[in-house]
Structure 1
Amino acid sequence: MGQLHLIRLMTLQRQRDLRRRRRQDQPPNNVGMVASGPKRKGSPCQRDGDYQGDEVKMYLGPSLPEDIWQHIHSLMPMRDAARVACVSRAFVPSWRCHPNLTFSNETLGLNKNARGKDGSDSIFSSIVDHILTKHSGIGLKTLKLQIPSDFSAKDYCYIDGWLRTALTLGIKELTLILHPLKSKYNFPYSLLSNGSGNSIRYLHLVRCSFCPTATLSCLRSLTRLYLCHVRVTGDELGCLFPHSLALERLEVRYCDGIVRLKVPCILQRLSYLEVLGGDRLEAIDNEAPNISTFLFEGDNAVKLSLGETLQMKRVKIQRSGSVFYARTELPSRMLNLEALTLRSDRERVTPMLSSKFLHLRHLSIALIGVTFPSTYDYLSLAHFLNAAPYLETFLLDVWQQHMKHVSIFADPSDLRQMQEHRHHNLKDVRIRNFCCAKSLVELACHVAESVTSLECLTLEAPQSVFRCSDRDNRSGKCCPMDRDILVEAHRAILAIRRYIEPKVPSTVKLHVLEPCSCHAV
């Protein structure tokens, strides 16, 4: 799209220049046009001409200041910027100053296994070498290297050279992603020494080794660190933190070498902490005082010591028992929590406690499992709603492949009611993958009857991943659904119509999302 807009701009400017020249009494080789010799064969990268008789008029672009052209060029994706530089030599200088370089087989238009005829040199390596060598270094901000699968250990020296060049040019954002089968590369941490790494603000590493040491002082400008499937230990990260006091965002995903992650109090600017997975992780010990967002996914045996949590605004926890943990532990620790997201595949009944979430505005709970424990009482979630008097939105997802709860149709009498409690701020409630479990029907009835501020109640039966009507569904067909799930979806709709809809006030908009009509039971 960027290339198309630029070509349109060039065409409009060319038309204006031609009209202006016709009004003048001077020869037509005006500004922006250069007369050349007879027509010659050559590459489109070398010429872009208008033909008049025996002469070729080389178009150098509209008469705009060079810095404006350079700015327009910098806004284009790398591949489009390279194409424009091939169309006209006038854009070669700005191409050599392009601020964002992304190298992958896709951006370079290469096949998955693109090597030279003798199999020794990678075409990917040759192109990246050429572009980085020709780059002026002026304005370079980001470098993203997505190493293809045909790279071997002997090719790793190329990566070292590219990183050395990028650091010499003062790169600010560096991303290195290796293929899963070629992930034994050791990131050359020594290249960051002697101030070479102090320009980097964002470091993104995937599938490599990263071994910071206490003797190297670097990354003083680093504000964001992203590590995914990286071989690193907690002690090695501990060597990095004292030299990265500007760090604001730390993301550690599936780094199995970390047993204990300790975040020191000297990271005063750290506001975002995300820790996902890690087979050996046993504890997270945070002492950074100003974290406002915390995301965790892992085993329920991992000990969470979050330290000072007065600044905590948003929390997401994904592990077994997360709802029970959040209800019993967080109200007294996170007094200013505003948004809470929980995901669990096994739960205990949510207790009724006196502690409150006085600032919680948004709550999302996902109770998802192939077979969620049949003993769980969905109606107990009403205690969570009652503990958040200023809650505005509530999203509940209860997907399960095999419903083992007591069905409302098996025991339709004596629907339970919670003790009298009116909610005056909750406006929007959505329950996804609604089923005919009796305790879930009772929860929906409780919401309809006790939430005086309710504006919209949305109940969604189990759906296909893609529906016929979805814009992103190119096939125009729904994904197939298991017969058991489809039967349960229609039973859920029947339960909604029979037991819940009559209790919804006329002032509340009830949205019931049924399975697509293309599915037949």
Structure 2
Amino acid sequence: MPMRDAARAACVSRAFLRSWRCHPNLNFSNETLGLNENACGKDESARVFYSKVDHILKKHSGIGVKKLKIQIASDFSEKDSCYLNSWLQTAVTPGIEELTLTLIREKAKYNFPCSLLSNGSGDSIRYLHLARCSFHPTVTLGCLRSLTRLHLCLVRITGDELGCLLSHSFSLERLELRCCDGIVCLKVPCILQRLSYLEVFGCAKLKVIDNKAPNLSSFSFEGDNTVQVSLGETLQMKNLYMDRSGSVLYALAKLPSSMPNLEALTIFSCKERAHKPMLRRKFIHLRHLSIALNGSPFSPTYDYLCLASFFDAAPSLETFNLDVFQRYMEHVSIFADPADLRQMRELHHHNLKSVKITGFCSAKSLVELTCHIVESITSLECLTLEAPQSILRCCAPYNKSGKCSPMARDILMEAHRAVLAIRTYIEPKVPSTVKLHVLEPCSCHAVEL
């Protein structure tokens, strides 16, 4: 380890040792302990990490700890479990309120000792965050009576085990599950009267979500179309995030009647069918709408103009964000068929003020949608049209090269066609009361052309 890094690590360690008695929040990671894996190597960094944390916690009484956060970035094996078990045994005592354990490495294997949360030690925990470990709660775990937020990411747990835990977590307000592939059926019991936020992302084997919690107001889901989602009473639903194919059509056809009080809707879809739904009910309270239609490529037959149905369905809409970036643009270009731009019936929207379209391309139906927006939405104040950009831009403060990252030639060419389409067909129609922002590809890419 270079002298400067060694001195810094020692300084941080001494400062930490002096302060932990006064501050009941313990945060152990490579960063907080001043360890630089690139400078001292992975093995040495892991050895120093374990040594420092072990030294600190062995001198700690465990009394007064409110928050414990452990993030292990090095390789973690079964032989390292004895360290972690000892640390948790010391810090997880009656009175602890937040516990976060994150194992970074993909091959990490650790079985969280649920017995630590029994006998009153878990009664005070309000926030439990576990990542990349095994967690097998049973009926003997007891009641996590203070738990308000549970976050499990890449945790090996079954649906029955989770259900057992939920049935004893009466105060739970937020449940977040990410990539927990052991869960096939997620059942949320009705006793969770305070549960307002449910998030389920990337649980590959999930087949059923059955929610009975009566006061759910926010639901976020990313998964396969085959997952059966039953949310029970949805009159309280205010915020909905959906990432699954066909969700645009589903939103227009089903949500106005099932979630009439929805205020914010975010949709991600990689596959859609063109639609002209018969709207019997409207999103009376919907104020914020974000739609991302990203595919490789997205269906070239999809008609972007049909998204204008949302403006008619949501009279209270204030912001509309649309992302249409795709690696290969196969829609009919406005330059291939410039004649006879379609027009929908005129609609005077009195609340929509801000529209942003990212990944803008020269697709004719997208140009038609944008023209419809500028011509018929009289309340519009700001329109932002962004052509495809570099992933890393030259203006980013962390970009030391001072240049944008390269763009594939076909994407760059389409970006310039998009800008030309904006200048030719859209900009002349923008009212003087609307601020038009056009984001073009950076001049860094001149050489690539």
Question: CA separation in 1, counterparts of 2:33 and 2:397?
Answer: 30
Q: Which of 273, 276, 286 pairs up with 1:348?
A: 273
Q: Which of 487, 490, 505 pairs up with 2:416?
A: 490
Contact 1:321 1:344 in 2 (8 A): yes
Contact 2:163 2:187 in 1 (8 A): yes
How far apart are residue 142 of structure 1 and its match?
1.2
Contact 1:149 1:182 in 2 (8 A): no
Aligned 1:116-135 pairs, distance under 5 A: 122-135=47-60
Question: CA separation in 1, counterparts of 2:64 and 2:50?
Answer: 23
How far apart are residue 82 of structure 1 and its match?
4.7
Contact 1:464 1:478 in 2 (8 A): yes
Q: Which residue pairs with 2:363 in the alignment?
A: 437
Q: Which residue pairs with 2:3 in the alignment?
A: none
Q: Which residue pairs with 2:90 in the alignment?
A: 165
Q: Which of 252, 255, 263 pairs up with 1:330?
A: 255
Q: Which residue pairs with 2:182 in the alignment?
A: 257
Change (3 A) 1:286 1:338: same
Contact 1:367 1:397 in 2 (8 A): yes
Q: Which residue pairs with 1:499 in the alignment?
A: 425
Q: Which residue pairs with 2:4 in the alignment?
A: none
Q: Which of 311, 317, 324 pairs up with 1:398?
A: 324
Q: TM-score, normalised by structure 2?
A: 0.92
How far apart are residue 454 of structure 1 and its match?
0.5
Question: CA separation in 1, counterparts of 2:43 and 2:32?
Answer: 13
Of residues 388-397 and 136-145 in structure 1, the stretch that sits farther from structure 2 once superposed is 136-145
Q: Which runs of 5+ in 2 are unaligned?
A: 1-6
Contact 2:297 2:330 in 1 (8 A): yes
Question: CA separation in 2, counterparts of 1:350 and 1:100?
Answer: 54
Question: CA separation in 2, counterparts of 1:85 and 1:371?
Answer: 52
How far apart are residue 81 of structure 1 and its match?
7.0
Q: Which residue pairs with 1:95 in the alignment?
A: 20
* Percent identity of paired positions between Structure 1 and Structure 2: 69
Q: Cα deviation per residue 1:292-344 (whole Å; 9 max; x = unaligned)?
A: 11110011111111111111111110111111111111111111110000001
Secondary structure of the 2:328 match is coil
Question: CA separation in 2, counterparts of 1:84 and 1:185?
Answer: 30
Q: Cα deviation per residue 1:254-291 (whole Å; 9 max; x = unaligned)?
A: 00011111111100011110000111111111111111
Answer 1 or 2: higher relative contact order, Cα 8 Å, separation at least 6.
Answer: 2
Q: Which residue pairs with 1:59 in the alignment?
A: none
Q: TM-score, normalised by structure 1?
A: 0.80
Contact 1:97 1:138 in 2 (8 A): no
Secondary structure of the 2:443 match is coil
Contact 1:441 1:499 in 2 (8 A): yes
Contact 1:105 1:124 in 2 (8 A): yes
Question: CA separation in 2, counterparts of 1:252 and 1:235?
Answer: 14
Contact 1:192 1:218 in 2 (8 A): no
Q: Cα deviation per residue 1:12-35 (whole Å; 9 max; x = unaligned)?
A: xxxxxxxxxxxxxxxxxxxxxxxx
The amino acid of 2:176's aligned partner reads E
Contact 1:194 1:218 in 2 (8 A): no
Q: Which of 217, 222, 247 pairs up with 1:297?
A: 222
Q: Cα deviation per residue 1:58-95 (whole Å; 9 max; x = unaligned)?
A: xxxxxxxxxxxxxxxxxxxx998754467xxxxx3x43
The amino acid of 1:425's aligned partner reads N
How far apart are residue 182 of structure 1 and its match?
4.0
The amino acid of 1:498's aligned partner reads T
Q: Cα deviation per residue 1:101-154 (whole Å; 9 max; x = unaligned)?
A: 1212332234453459xxxx9443332122112234454221111224343212
Change (3 A) 1:114 1:97: farther
Q: Which residue pairs with 1:421 in the alignment?
A: 347
Contact 2:62 2:92 in 1 (8 A): no
Q: Which residue pairs with 2:42 in the alignment?
A: 113
Q: Which residue pairs with 1:311 in the alignment?
A: 236
How far apart are residue 226 of structure 1 and its match?
0.5
Q: How large is the RMSD of aligned CA atoms in angstroms?
A: 2.1
Question: CA separation in 1, counterparts of 2:355 and 2:407?
Answer: 26
Q: Cα deviation per residue 1:356-414 (whole Å; 9 max; x = unaligned)?
A: 00000000000011200011000000011210001000000000111111111111111
Question: CA separation in 1, counterparts of 2:437 and 2:339?
Answer: 25
Question: CA separation in 2, counterparts of 1:129 and 1:399?
Answer: 49
Contact 1:210 1:230 in 2 (8 A): yes
Q: Which of 228, 239, 246 pairs up with 2:171?
A: 246
Question: CA separation in 2, counterparts of 1:126 and 1:401?
Answer: 48
Q: Which of 43, 67, 84 pairs up with 1:142?
A: 67
Q: Which of 196, 205, 210 pairs up with 2:135?
A: 210
Q: Which runs of 5+ in 1 are unaligned?
A: 1-43, 46-77, 87-91
Contact 2:76 2:108 in 1 (8 A): no
Structure 1 position 368 matched with structure 2 position 297: no
The amino acid of 2:167's aligned partner reads P
Question: CA separation in 2, counterparts of 1:466 and 1:268?
Answer: 45
Q: How many aligned positions are there?
A: 436
Q: Cα deviation per residue 1:431-457 (whole Å; 9 max; x = unaligned)?
A: 111111000000000000000100011
Contact 2:77 2:108 in 1 (8 A): no
